[in-house]
Chain A
Amino acid sequence: MIADRLFGEPDAASSEALDRHLAQCEDCRRTLAGMEAALGVASMRTRPEPDAATWASFDARLGERLRDERVPQRTRVLWLRARPWAAAVAFLGLGLVLGRTVLAPVPAAPDAPSAVQTVAGDVLERTTAYLDRSRLLLLDIAHSEGGTDDPAALDLPRRSRIARELVTEAADLGEALSAADERRLRALVADLESILAQLAALETGLDLPGLELVRSEVESRALLFRIDIERLRAAEPRQTRSRTRNDA
């Protein structure tokens, strides 16, 4: 209710309820007064305004950065529409590539894995274990009670500690995955690393907004789904996996 009062969107009923509470609660009166005063001080902030020379230099730098950029997507599609033969050649080429990769017969499995395969296998095992641990932590976060008033029930310090360990592990794992040319797994571990770093850096108290941001990020990047897909792939025979590992 204090937030509604401060940020200008209270309804009449909650405003009256807040006034009744404030009449009896010295702590809340002091908190509200302190926050209103802080907003007053914060309003005294000034900003520099760039002059024409600054914008000219900005434009020059932007032009330089954009020099090698391609034209936006729709323009390319329109170009293909304008030249049907170009579209036909593009689709024919795509068909050839797909035919040679996806539809090619799977070679017979060798009797013993090569040294390269053994190293790659070790990295994949470590990654699977890493994904399992990350998945458990993210599921725990996703299913925790966002509205709880009990900091102990959330146990953020424990979760932050686990997240910190996983962030440290992700750095080593990322390098190993790059060396093994596992680009999709590398991208997933990098995304996890970013989320886990946020979790590790949550304040030790009841940082519910911080936790909500982490949840929203887990959802928007479809992390749990992507982990499940990779766990399924990990169960595939290695030959199939090597053909599909960097698709997408």
Chain B
Amino acid sequence: MTAAPLENAEFRRLVETHRQRLYRLAIDLTGDHDEAQDLLQEVFVRAWRGLDAFRGEADAATWLRRITVNTFLNTRRSARLELVRLESDGSAPEPAAPEPARDPADARRIQEAIARALDGLSPGERTAFVLRHYQELAVLEVARAMGVAEGTAKSLLFRATHKLAGRLAHLQTETLS
């Protein structure tokens, strides 16, 4: 009789060692606690299924990060597919217009403004930005985690930052001066 996955010492150690760090990545990518937890559940299910393939690899953190990024991008692709279908029906909801933070000194409003600005990025732009800026990976590592060329990762980063500059401009002068 084989032990349940969480009673498997190797898998249990993998979950406990990496879940906190992966949660940070998941919430950076999704921007939502519940969605981040769902993403993380899916990541560990996939990790369990692929545990055998991983055993020969040295770096569990890189492996799990790559699963997280792929799972996130695949989920967003499915969501985008639904949106395209809705648009084809002529019933697509209008995207919500970003609300300016009326009081830049209000920390909560600043957090909301940053969250809205990040939500305005495409999944690829957001992933590249999060990996570089919040997870502090080198551009080459960003490219590897996303499975794209380094030049593409740079382009995504440039576009993401350029969009954020436009969307956060109303905060920049007042907050940083």
Decide if B114 touches A72 in the complex (CB within 8 Å): no
Given contacts A63-B6, A171-B85, whether A69 and B172 have CB atoms under 8 Å apart is: no
Decide if B81 touches A63 in the complex (CB within 8 Å): no
A24 close to B (CB within 8 Å): no
A162 close to B (CB within 8 Å): no
Decide if A62 touches B52 in the complex (CB within 8 Å): no
Decide if B15 touches A167 in the complex (CB within 8 Å): no
Decide if A66 touches B5 in the complex (CB within 8 Å): yes
1/0 per residue B161-177: CB within 8 Å of A? 11011101101100110
Decide if B23 touches A50 in the complex (CB within 8 Å): yes
B144 close to A (CB within 8 Å): no
Q: Specify the main secondary structure of chain A where it touches its partner.
A: helix
Decide if A35 touches B161 in the complex (CB within 8 Å): yes
Q: Specify the main secondary structure of chain B where it touches its partner.
A: helix
A20: B residues at CB distance < 8 A? none
Selected from A38, A67, A167, A171, the residue in CB contact (under 8 A) with B161 is A38
B157: A residues at CB distance < 8 A? 3, 6-7
A37 and B156 alpha carbons, distance in the complex (Å): 18
Given contacts A9-B138, A47-B27, A50-B23, whether A61 and B172 have CB atoms under 8 Å apart is: no
Decide if B48 touches A66 in the complex (CB within 8 Å): yes
Decide if A31 touches B172 in the complex (CB within 8 Å): no
B13 close to A (CB within 8 Å): no
B18: A residues at CB distance < 8 A? none
A84 close to B (CB within 8 Å): no
Decide if B122 touches A210 in the complex (CB within 8 Å): yes
Decide if B133 touches A61 in the complex (CB within 8 Å): no
A240: B residues at CB distance < 8 A? none
A152 close to B (CB within 8 Å): no
Of chain B, the residue at the smallest CB distance from A4 is: B154
Given contacts A37-B176, A58-B41, A66-B45, whether A208 and B155 have CB atoms under 8 Å apart is: yes
Selected from A35, A59, A62, A198, the residue in CB contact (under 8 A) with B77 is A198
Decide if B172 touches A164 in the complex (CB within 8 Å): no
Decide if A194 touches B85 in the complex (CB within 8 Å): no
B78 close to A (CB within 8 Å): yes
CB distance from B76 to the nearest CB of A (A): 10
A148 and B10 alpha carbons, distance in the complex (Å): 49
A47 and B36 alpha carbons, distance in the complex (Å): 11
A-B contact pairs, 7 of them (CB 8 A): A4-B154, A7-B157, A41-B171, A44-B114, A58-B40, A59-B15, A74-B52
* Beyond known contacts A41-B168, A44-B175, A212-B152: 12 more, CB 8 A cutoff: A4-B154, A7-B139, A9-B139, A42-B129, A42-B133, A48-B27, A49-B20, A58-B19, A59-B15, A66-B44, A213-B148, A220-B147
